Amino acid sequence: MSGASAAIQEAAAVLARGGLVAFPTETVYGLGAAARDERAVARVFEAKGRPSSHPLIVHVASVVEVERFARAIPEAARVLLDRFAPGPLTLILERKEDVPARVAGGQPTIGVRIPDHPVALALLRAFGDGVAAPSANRFGSISPTTAAHVALELGDRVELILDGGACRVGVESTIVDLTRDAPRILRPGGVPAEAIEDALSTRVPIVEADDVRVPGALASHYAPRADVVVVVEDGLATALRDARHRRPVVLGEGAPDGVPSIALPREPEAQARRLYAALREVDERGFDVAFVVLPEAAGLGAAIVDRLRRASAPRTGH
């Protein structure tokens, strides 16, 4: 495509021949494959070590292209696309008949999103069709927010990594399911739930997706090797006292004298942007337990609380 850089053209060509390309989005880096190429999509699941029943999000460059993957665009979808696309939003819609079931993990639905990153959009335009892209990390581990993170996790499993710098949002897209009677949020993310509710003029509950609704036990995800312990404001000193025998670190402020800390801003947008890099730093510096004070679960804070709860959930074998 004229106008696209040589790297973008090369990346589009890799996708066209069934290869994998890691690329930046405004949320996190994605591990991309041609959405309609079943063998390429199978390689994504394999590279990530992800169960093939877990559906992938299809990334497209425009609203018109959403219609190539969704059977219909309900009014609520129009409203949300109007307001938030391109942006950190994924819509779950009815899957169009000719879209392979594999990319949707066998679901009759499809997750679609228009990322707000110049490199992602250039790639999608150059490729000319949907690109399936989960976060470019091994299953269960921390999503990458820089090209260097991708190289560490999947460097030997992708043909190409496009470097677009550090991700601006830092946590994944908000997933809104529009296939039921009422809209619901399956994953809090870069677009605050409050903004979704405002756009739709209705309450939109955040629910656990059916397949991870296990009472009392959130699946471990977004997790470093070290343990993560979330504490409420004022609970830090007590929690640290109980963990004296280990190599603790505090994410953010409030570490007592003698306990090391890793910077994590308090302001929700800045905190989201820095969160995954901070969790990675815990492992890089050899700490075995990280303490972090939960932010208020409003705005982007809801996504941060969700990720920290999963990072701190009991480990279940991955």
| Binding residues vs ligand TXA (CB under 6 A) | 25, 27-28, 30, 54-57, 90, 92, 104, 107, 109-111, 113, 115, 133-135, 172-173, 175, 186-187, 209
Least distance in angstroms from the C-beta of 67 to Mg ion? 26
State the binding partner of 92 from ligand TXA, Mg ion, none, CB within 5 to 8 A by kind. ligand TXA
Q: 69 or 287: whose CB is closer to ligand TXA?
A: 69
Residue selected from 25, 27, 135, 173 as contacting Mg ion according to rule CB under 5 A: 135
CA-to-CA distance for 85 and 48, rounded, in angstroms?
27
SS3 assignment, position 283: helix
Least distance in angstroms from the C-beta of 134 to ligand TXA? 3
State the binding partner of 146 from ligand TXA, Mg ion, none, CB within 5 to 8 A by kind. none
Cβ count near 237 (within 10 Å) = 13
Least distance in angstroms from the C-beta of 183 to ligand TXA? 13
State the binding partner of 188 from Mg ion, ligand TXA, none, CB within 5 to 8 A by kind. none
State the binding partner of 141 from ligand TXA, Mg ion, none, CB within 5 to 8 A by kind. none
Decide if residue 90 touches Mg ion (CB under 5 A). Answer: no
Contact predicate 32/22, CB 8 Å: yes
Given the structure tokens 């309609």, which residue do they identify?
36
Q: Are strands 174-177 and 160-161 parallel, antiparallel or unpaired?
A: unpaired
Least distance in angstroms from the C-beta of 26 to ligand TXA? 8
| Rounded (to 5) percent helix, strand, coil in the chain | 35, 15, 50
Give the angle 269-270-273 at the CA atoms, nearest 5°: 90
Give the number of residues in contact with Mg ion, rule: CB under 5 A.
Answer: 1
Cβ count near 145 (within 10 Å) = 27
How many helices (DSSP H) and strands (DSSP E) are in the chain?
Answer: 10, 13
Least distance in angstroms from the C-beta of 172 to ligand TXA? 4
State the binding partner of 173 from ligand TXA, Mg ion, none, CB within 5 to 8 A by kind. ligand TXA
Contact predicate 57/219, CB 8 Å: no
State the binding partner of 62 from ligand TXA, Mg ion, none, CB within 5 to 8 A by kind. none
Phi, psi of 79 (to 5 degrees): -60, -45
Least distance in angstroms from the C-beta of 221 to ligand TXA? 9
Q: Which amino acid is at 6?
A: A
163-to-12, 159, 184, 236, 281 alpha-carbon distances in Å: 15, 13, 33, 37, 20
Q: 143 or 312: whose CB is closer to ligand TXA?
A: 143
CA-to-CA distance for 52 and 43, rounded, in angstroms?
10
Interface ranges with Mg ion (CB under 5 A): 135
